[in-house]
Amino acid sequence: MLRNATCGQLRSENQGRTVALAGWVDSLRDHSGVLFVNLRDRYGITQITITPSVGEEMFELVRSLRNEDVIRVVGTVQPRPVGIVNTKIATGEIEVKASEVVVLNRTAVVPFLPGAPEIPSEETRLKYRYLDLRRPQMQKTLELRHRITKVMRDYFDEHDFLEVETPMLGKSTPEGARDYLVPSRVNPGTFYALPQSPQLYKQILMIAGYDRYVQIARCFRDEDLRADRQPEFTQLDLEMSFVEMDDIIDMVSGLVQRLMKEVLGRDMPLPIPRMEYAEAMERFGHDAPDLRFGMELVDLTELAKTVDFRVFRSVAESGGRVRAINAPGAAERYSRKDIDGLNQWVIEHFGAKGIAWLKVDPDGRLAGPIAKNFKPEELERIKEKLEAKPGDFLLFSADAFETTCKVLNGLRRRLASELKLIDPNEMNFCWIVHFPMFAWDEEDGVAGGGRYVAMHHPFTAPRTEDVPLLDSDPGKLKAQAYDLVLNGFEVGGGTIRIHDGTIQHKVFELLGLAEETCRSMFGFLLDALSFGAPPHGGIALGLDRLVMLFAGLDNIRDCIAFPKTAKAADLMTGAPSPVAEKQLEELAIKTATIQNVTLKNADADLEKKE
Ligand code: ASP
């Protein structure tokens, strides 16, 4: 037996026990002729003490150890002398006095030490991921990830869900993002697509009578990566039959409560608060509002129509909005230079014209470059509306509705973080419901004249009472759609689906999908819907992001064992990489870079035949 205990296991009650431990040398110290090795494995760190009594050869062997060498130690558990008890680690009351040390493997010089407090550059971490994954923080996060998926599986098993695997090699059906394609060798010139989500398969499973489906599913989207996106990511994906929106919300709320209890040891009361999409946009300017702090958006459009200040009045009169937030007590914190910075930021990031601002003086008067444009009673009204007190900092956005949303949501989040208004330990969940069915995409559509696009996906059902709007005013349709939001992040989204072929057809039509396109892409779904489809709906939660928030981290790559960079590369293996020409030939693929050569060959072949 190589070991009979782990490095995180031994306590003072194990005193006197002879143990065998194995692991990595985390550190080695020489204290006046006694050697101390901190031995590390996934479970923790145990201090090993080696005295010259082990014999000169073994003593010298230990002295020659390098950090990250792999060793086996046999010894006796003994209490640490008073004064060197380490309360910071679980094994801190004991040490193992070694009688035998064997080197299992020597390490080459490592580019960084997993046990060191300083964290190397992300590039280095990703290149030597095996060393990075040795860091206790990474091991803790992946353990937490395991705990979360275990609770999920238990919970859904208890609620009669079946875990069903859906194919990785599927059909390319544009569902928003670009597909990752896989060429078919046996059907030259054709391609599979890696799933963007198991959406259609899970709906088909409902039509097939499986009632409750769940899967921890890998999904692929070939998008330009943002900081918290990965080309492949994991979703907790589920679907239920004979349900309404409330049933899905209740089922997932129960899961969240269970995760809070079993993963974080926290009690969470239900129900999770709900907010209409339209209300979220009014109060927070965003569909995933961070409710851990106030600074809600206040509408001043009506007031703006009556003031002399032309910048506000003309926007308000021409269908735009004038809205503001009040950063409490922040007047002193933001200098003119800071405010110029904020102004530049909203112009660059949100395509805004800029911001206007006012500060409340200690004597309660509003001050700032735009103050002179208002009558005293107008300033009073602004103060009243924003509940402004001495020392407050007021920021205004006058623009199209969408722009005011982006600007004030951006400022609200940025200021909350700069003013430290957020309790980092809070876990604040809410549901946002009844999203619009469609958004209008100005640049798309026939001859770029604009067209409707599905806000969630084209299989989403409108609210029952809204169905007539499909013919009369599709832009006003609200969907049976719901997002789960945690601390200002969307962590999940789902919908009740269309189970009526006629409505599904109509939605495809509104989305500008021609009859043949529809048939060739979704014919199987339309067929399936015609063979007795039950009412059904579901949701998917982004597992990587959920883990990130439960772990209190701010980087999604730290929650994935082998993540990719912003350029979708795996720095450890070197993927993606060129392949042998023979492989391409077998797949009947010509890439642009070798195309000339292959084309010439193809031409030569043709000439020969003629
Ligand atoms: N398939 C959807 C998504 O990946 C989730 C759902 O509607 O269940 O966003």
- pLDDT of 430 over the 70 cut: yes
Contact 231, 194 (CB under 8 A): no
User: Which residue from 197, 214, 220, 498 has its CB within 8 A of the most atoms of ligand 1, so it is best to mutate?
Assistant: 197
Q: How far is the CA of 442 from the centre of ligand 1 (A)?
A: 24
| 269-278, 368-377, 551-560, 597-606: least confidently modelled range | 597-606
Residue 131's pLDDT is 98
Q: How far apart are CA 473 and CA 437, in angstroms?
A: 11
Highest mean pLDDT among 19-23, 86-90, 445-449: 19-23
Q: How far is the CA of 158 from the centre of ligand 1 (A)?
A: 23
Q: How far apart are CA 310 and CA 524, in angstroms?
A: 57
User: Which residue from 216, 251, 456 has its CB within 8 A of the most atoms of ligand 1, so it is best to mutate?
Assistant: 456
Q: How far is the CA of 200 from the centre of ligand 1 (A)?
A: 10
Residue 198 beta carbon below 6 angstroms from any ligand 1 atom: no
User: Which residue from 173, 179, 196, 199 has its CB within 8 A of the most atoms of ligand 1, so it is best to mutate?
Assistant: 199
Tokens describing residue 609: 């035949």
Give the CA distances from residue 163 to residues 174, 212, 257, 559, in Å, rounded to whole numbers and listed in that order: 25, 9, 21, 23
Give the CA distances from residue 262 to residues 8, 80, 155, in Å, rounded to whole numbers and listed in that order: 21, 34, 11
In tens, the pLDDT along 8-59 reads 999 999 999 999 999 999 999 999 899 999 999 999 999 999 999 999 999 9
Report CA 250 to chain centroid distance, whole Å.
22
In tens, the pLDDT along 380-403 reads 999 999 999 999 999 999 999 999
Domain contains 381: yes
Q: How far apart are CA 240 and CA 202, in angstroms?
A: 9
E strand segments, 221-355: 232-241, 274-276, 298-299, 321-327
Same domain, 434 and 411: no
Q: What percent of the chain has pLDDT over 70?
A: 95
Give the CA distances from residue 10 to residues 5, 41, 94, 512, in Å, rounded to whole numbers and listed in that order: 8, 13, 7, 66
Residue 207's pLDDT is 98
- pLDDT of 602 over the 70 cut: no
Domain count across the chain: 4
Specify the CATH number for the domain of residue 55: 2.40.50.140
Q: Which of these, 433, 431, 510, lies nearest to 467 by C-alpha position? A: 510
Same domain, 383 and 325: yes
Output phi, psi for 168, to 5 deg: -85, -35
Residue 458 beta carbon below 6 angstroms from any ligand 1 atom: no
Atom of ligand 1 nearest to the CA of 459: 7
- Sequence-distant (6+) residues with CB within 8 A of 406 are 285, 349, 350, 351, 352
Same domain, 321 and 440: no
Same domain, 169 and 261: yes
Output phi, psi for 105, to 5 deg: -165, 140
Same domain, 85 and 162: no
Residue 593's pLDDT is 67
Nearest protein Cα to ligand 1, atom 4: 197
Nearest protein Cα to ligand 1, atom 7: 494
Same domain, 339 and 390: yes
Kindly report the number of other CB atoms within 10 A of residue 13's CB atom. 10
Specify the CATH number for the domain of residue 189: 3.30.930.10
Atom of ligand 1 nearest to the CA of 460: 7
In tens, the pLDDT along 520-543 reads 888 999 999 999 999 999 999 999
DSSP 273: P
Half-sphere exposure of 256 (CA within 13 A, CB side): 25
Query: Residue 255: which pLDDT band, with cuts at 50, 70 and 90?
Result: very high
Residue 493 beta carbon below 6 angstroms from any ligand 1 atom: yes
Same domain, 551 and 501: yes
Residue 166 beta carbon below 6 angstroms from any ligand 1 atom: no
SS3 call for 493: strand
Same domain, 155 and 228: yes
Q: How far apart are CA 324 and CA 407, in angstroms?
A: 10
The total number of residues written for the chain in this structure: 610
Residue 447's pLDDT is 61
Q: Give the β-pairing of 94-105 and 162-163.
A: unpaired
Same domain, 77 and 148: no
Residue 600's pLDDT is 45
Calculate mean pLDDT across residues 88-99.
97
Same domain, 383 and 455: no
Tokens describing residue 217: 């599913």
Nearest protein Cα to ligand 1, atom 1: 199
Residue 495 beta carbon below 6 angstroms from any ligand 1 atom: yes
Q: Name the pTM for this structure.
A: 0.92
Atom of ligand 1 nearest to the CA of 537: 8
Q: How far is the CA of 239 from the centre of ligand 1 (A)?
A: 10
Residue 32's pLDDT is 86
Atom of ligand 1 nearest to the CA of 198: 1
Domain contains 486: yes
Domain contains 1: no
Domain contains 3: no
Domain span at residue 30? 12-105
Query: Residue 82: which pLDDT band, with cuts at 50, 70 and 90?
Result: confident
In tens, the pLDDT along 587-601 reads 999 887 654 444 444
Same domain, 411 and 436: no
Among 349, 383, 418, where does a domain finish? 418
Domain contains 115: no
Domain contains 110: no
Tokens describing residue 399: 């623009």
In tens, the pLDDT along 207-239 reads 999 999 999 999 999 988 776 789 999 999 999
Residue 226's pLDDT is 72
Atom of ligand 1 nearest to the CA of 495: 7
What value does the mean pLDDT of the chain take?
Answer: 94
Domain contains 281: no
Domain contains 132: no
Q: What percent of the chain has pLDDT over 90?
A: 88
Residue 175's pLDDT is 52
Specify the CATH number for the domain of residue 396: 3.30.1360.30
Query: Residue 514: which pLDDT band, with cuts at 50, 70 and 90?
Result: confident
Same domain, 320 and 191: no
Residue with tokens 């005011």: 404
